[in-house]
Amino acid sequence: MITTPVLGSLRVAATLTHGLPGLRCRLRVEDRTLVQVGGPDAASSPTSDPAVDEAITCSPCGFRAAVADAHRRNSWGERLQLLDLPAGAEPLIDIGTPTGGTCRPGGIFRVPIGGRWLWAFATTLDADAVHECCQELLDEARFEIDVEIVGVRWDPATEVALVYAETTAPPESQREADVIELVEACLARVTAVELLLAAGALAPSDVGGSPGA
């Protein structure tokens, strides 16, 4: 059966691959690839997988739709089985970036987009809670660092929030370092709230909404 943590990770992966151009992911158990999402990119492939041709392949849109359906059915109390995995087996989720992209610790991704760069991470926290954590930082960033657009985008299908910053700052520049610092600060705040909620040390109503799975 799909556990709540695994479903939460699937929701995050589906939102990221759907929302960030060029990202792809795969679900695997050890060396066996189960699902491949998005096109291959040998320059930044997460792992070397000779069995990838045997995997189910789907588009980011199709993956998001399937995960959203599983999330909805799970919320109704339905117990779900992931493909033909044996009882107790849980898939690992690898996310790969396109050429020019990168991944930083904590699940922060950069992808190129039309001569600019998009930095983002995703969380299953409720949208109101994410705004409460991040909006002040994002509002200040519009006037202080090189960002074109910053914000929080809520995906109602997966119930995952995408925190993002779009910039013209080139990779490895000080301007980019400022953008990274902003996104990492947002991630730190979100992570702290997630941990407090999980430990029961913080009530959902104290952060503006209910956390996701």
Is there a single domain that holds both residue 85 and residue 110?
Answer: no
Helix (H) and strand (E) counts for the chain? 4, 9
Give the pLDDT of residue 42. 36
Say which range, 1-5, 13-17, 38-42, 158-162, has the weakest mean pLDDT.
Answer: 38-42
What range defines the domain where residue 73 resides? 4-96
Is there a single domain that holds both residue 60 and residue 129?
Answer: no
25 assigned to some structural domain: yes
Q: Which of 96, 118, 134 is the last residue of a domain?
A: 96
What are the residues whose beta carbons fall under 8 Å from the beta carbon of 46, sequence distance 6 or more? 25, 26, 94, 95, 96
Rounded average pLDDT over 162-178: 96
Six token digits for residue 123: 């969380």
212 assigned to some structural domain: no
Looking at the predicted structure, is the pLDDT value of residue 61 above 90?
A: yes
What is the end-to-end Cα distance of the chain in Å, rounded? 15
Is there a single domain that holds both residue 108 and residue 196?
Answer: yes
Is there a single domain that holds both residue 70 and residue 27?
Answer: yes
Query: CA-to-CA distance for 34 and 55, rounded, in angstroms?
Result: 5
Global pTM reads 0.86
Give the pLDDT of residue 142. 87
> Hey, is 148 helix, strand or coil?
coil
User: 37, 28 in Cβ contact below 8 A?
Assistant: no
Q: Which of 36, 70, 96 is the last residue of a domain?
A: 96
Number of domains in the chain: 2
Is there a single domain that holds both residue 121 and residue 190?
Answer: yes
